[in-house]
Amino acid sequence: MPRLIDRYIFKEWLKALGVTVLLILGILLLEDMYRNLKNFLERSADIKTLLCYYGFVIPNCLGTVLPIAFFISVLYVLNDMQAHNEVVALRASGMTVFSITRGFWFAAVLLTGLLIGFNAYLLPYASDRMNTIAQQIDYNAQKKHTNDTEQIGIRYNLCFHHPTAGRLWRINRFGLYANRGTFMTLSMLDADGLERERIEAHAVSFDPHEHTWHFFNGKHWYFEENSDVVRNFKPFSEETYDAFDETPPFMDCVHKPLKHLGAHELKQIINFFPENNTHFSEHCIAYASIASSPLICLMVLLLAIPFSLGGVRTNPMVGISKAVGLFFIYYLAGGFGRMLGTRGMLSPLAAAWFPNAIMLVFGLVLYRKLAPR
């Protein structure tokens, strides 16, 4: 049964959390509008489409917003209590640091659980829907300037290497909207990277419903084993393959900058390629960071409590300033961990957990010093 003081602290924290979440979300929405809204309006996106897009932007940001908002709201409430001597009165009545802050620990555990489920289910869906809506706005705008659907969503020099299956794709020109392209070469490689077969086609199409590739008007070349000598070739008017697991949207997303990839795309990439593929180590680190982000709520609480309750009572902003500075150091440590991971000095999982481990140790040291007081 929660005590009266627990309900009071929890109520004050919820108010601070709500204001902080709304403020940070508002800033992120304004930032996205600054980057994208003008382009959407120029492409004649309607109000319903825009509302749907920004409706998915909000959950896409929550994974980042909630730990920061939790950190700031705890700092605010504890420093406010410290400034009004409420903490002194509670400690004088015999309450320990943990008994004063146990409502925050309950909230941290609750937020951690919610974020774990959020990152596993809602975040990939929201990220996928947000990217799909933005892409559809772009396609609709291109439709107004051409009647040829093959001219919509054009990608030039679309290349893709499937290391596990040994397939190397090179498509001169491919339309992602119509799923049709021209001048394709598909090399099938052996374990040593030598060509054993090659398909050259003047036209190529992909059926997303049947998940089949169709090649038109080309030649199928066969090579001698362990050699580049042609054994024979077979002309064809059409060949169909349903065993290839590559898709045009996936082949395109692999070439996107890391910062433009959503959670669902990161998950697809790391599940598709083998774990020892160093080319995508940054992607593995980014996805592992998303998976570990819910635990930040517990770590920031370990930092917020000592800096708030252990600060100078006449100047509570000192504790906030120190904690904000430490939070900045957390992101620097994250960058250092990613650097070690991309250079192969740490595994992607260890690189993602590197800043968390540092903050956890530092927070535990500070909390143990404060708790007996």
Indicate the pLDDT class of residue 315, thresholds 50, 70 and 90.
low
Confidence of residue 127 (pLDDT cuts 50, 70, 90): confident
Global pTM reads 0.75
According to DSSP, the residues that pair with 274 across neighbouring strands are none
Strands of 180-189's sheet in order across: 154-162, 167-175, 180-189, 195-207, 212-223, 230-241
pLDDT band at 373 (very low <50, low <70, confident <90, very high): low
Question: CB under 8 Å to 131, separation ≥6 — which residues?
Answer: 262, 265
% of the chain exceeding 70 in pLDDT: 93
Query: Mean of the pLDDT values across residues 117-124?
Result: 82
Burial (CB < 10 A; 0-12, 13-18, 19+), residue 116, is middle
CA–CA dist 10, 106 (Å, integer): 10
**SS3 state at 198:** strand
User: CA-CA-CA-CA torsion for 215, 221, 225, 231, nearest 10 degrees?
Assistant: 150
Give the pLDDT band (50/70/90) at residue 314. very low
Choose the weakest-confidence range: 235-244, 254-263, 264-273, 313-322.
313-322
Between CA 69 and CA 60 the distance in angstroms is 15
C-alpha to C-alpha distance for 293 and 116, rounded to whole angstroms: 8
Average pLDDT, stretch 333-359? 82
